[in-house]
Amino acid sequence: MKNKKTPIEDNFKFAIEENQLQANSMKLVRVEGTPVLLIKQGGQIFAIDNRFPHMGCGFSGGTLDGFTVICPCHDWRFSLQTGEYENEKAFKLVFYRFKISDGKIFVEINS
């Protein structure tokens, strides 16, 4: 009989060591080829798709202002808490689920 895989083995792929993500900062990683922007702010970690929902600019070239991520291309401001663009709620960040295990961050990437 085969061993059952854990959820981490099934869906969550290694991204980085947790201690590589500094407080109040963003770090771009590729998880299974997908650009994921990891953010640590206010003691929380967020994992978002690096590709902007507007015209595809990468958030990683932007800035972090508290719980707001600002796109480098047209300065659109997105809330990490709601995911919404401040002027048009239809535009939203794409969040990835993640887990932390043994000091490592694993991001769920659906193929």
* Binding flag, residue 70, ligand FES (CB under 6 A): no
Residue 89: what residue type? K
> Which ranges of 4-90 does DSSP label H, i.e. alpha helix?
7-11
- Among 16, 21, 64, 73, which residue sits at the site for ligand FES (rule: CB under 6 A)? 73
Instruction: Find the binder of ligand FES among 13, 27, 51, 54 (CB under 6 A).
Output: 54
For residue 19, give Cα distances in angstroms to 3, 15, 57, 104. Answer: 31, 12, 27, 8
Shorter beta-carbon distance to ligand FES: residue 46 or 52: 52
94 touches ligand FES (CB under 6 A): no
Kindly tell me the burial class for residue 69, based on how many C-beta atoms sit within 10 Å of its own C-beta (0-12, 13-18, 19 or more).
buried
Q: Assess 12 for contact with ligand FES (CB under 6 A).
A: no
The CA distances from residue 101 to 9, 42, 51, 105, in Å, are 12, 20, 26, 7
**C-beta of 82 vs 101, nearer to ligand FES:** 82
Q: Which is nearer to ligand FES, 14 or 91 (CB)?
A: 91
Site residues for ligand FES per CB under 6 A? 52, 54-55, 57, 71, 73-74, 76
